[in-house]
Amino acid sequence: MIKIRKKGNTCKMIYPIDHIESLFTEAGGEFITPVSEITEKLKFVKAYLFDWDGVFNPGIKGEGIRSTFSEADAMGSNLLRFGHWLKCNKLPLFGIITAQNNQSAFQLSEREHFQLVYYSLLNKRKALEHIETSYGIHRKQVVYVFDDVLDLSIALTCGLRFMVRRKGSLLFEEYVRGKGLCDYICANSGSGYAVREICELLLGLSGVYSQVIEERVKFSRSYEAYLSERNALSATFYSIKDGAIKEKHYC
């Protein structure tokens, strides 16, 4: 049951963990790892990484067709970073890892000031290794959002794994579930705002969802401070060259 805590003229809504679990489960999400364990691991998270095709979009490609993203997902990413900032007094590392050269991914990353974009990277494990050595963040402190086979080299070892559901991948979903390679399977697909679903789930489990929404609505001093810090960041682009990860701006 949602609790309401009054302080002066304001009311803070409290979302208990069991309520969040029921809400997302009833919507079609599936918790592979107990919610209490996911919540505990979230306390140590320092980085959020996302695959692109099939996660921010349905992954449809073809001549003249460009991948896309939605404003609902973009807002979710911003709220998640703000929530992390409120809890930790520090921005998390935030980025995209894609096997392709996706102009829309570059556009979103620059607009939203994501710190990292790894692109044209078929062996995604190299990105995780690069983050450990270059940014000093252990793989167990990483949240990864994914949808397909190329992502499993990260899902094998990172801290928290969230898989975007795709109706056609029945055996793959069963494989991932059986091998314990994800902690939560989304109710929604990449075309159904799965990124927003995950961002809201993480904010809820972190206990800051209500505060994040209220401060964003008011454009509070805290939100202005966060936004100023976020907007001072520039995206750094990496790709593979001579078998190693190198900084390389996209063309």
Confidence at 130, pLDDT banded by 50, 70, 90:
very high
Residue 9 has pLDDT above 60, yes or no: no
pLDDT of residue 64: 72
At 20, which amino acid appears?
I
125 touches 154 (CB < 8 A): yes
Where do the structural domains in the chain lie, given as residue ranges?
14-247
> Cα–Cα distance between 134 and 231 in angstroms, integer?
22
**For residue range 229-240, what is the model confidence (pLDDT) as tens digits?**
999 999 999 999
Residues 191-201 have a mean pLDDT of 97
CATH says 14-247 is which class?
alpha beta
pLDDT of residue 1: 59
**For residue range 141-187, what is the model confidence (pLDDT) as tens digits?**
999 999 999 999 999 999 999 999 999 999 999 999 999 999 999 99
In order of 74, 116, 153, 239, the CA distances from 122 in angstroms are 25, 16, 10, 10
pTM above 0.75, yes or no: yes
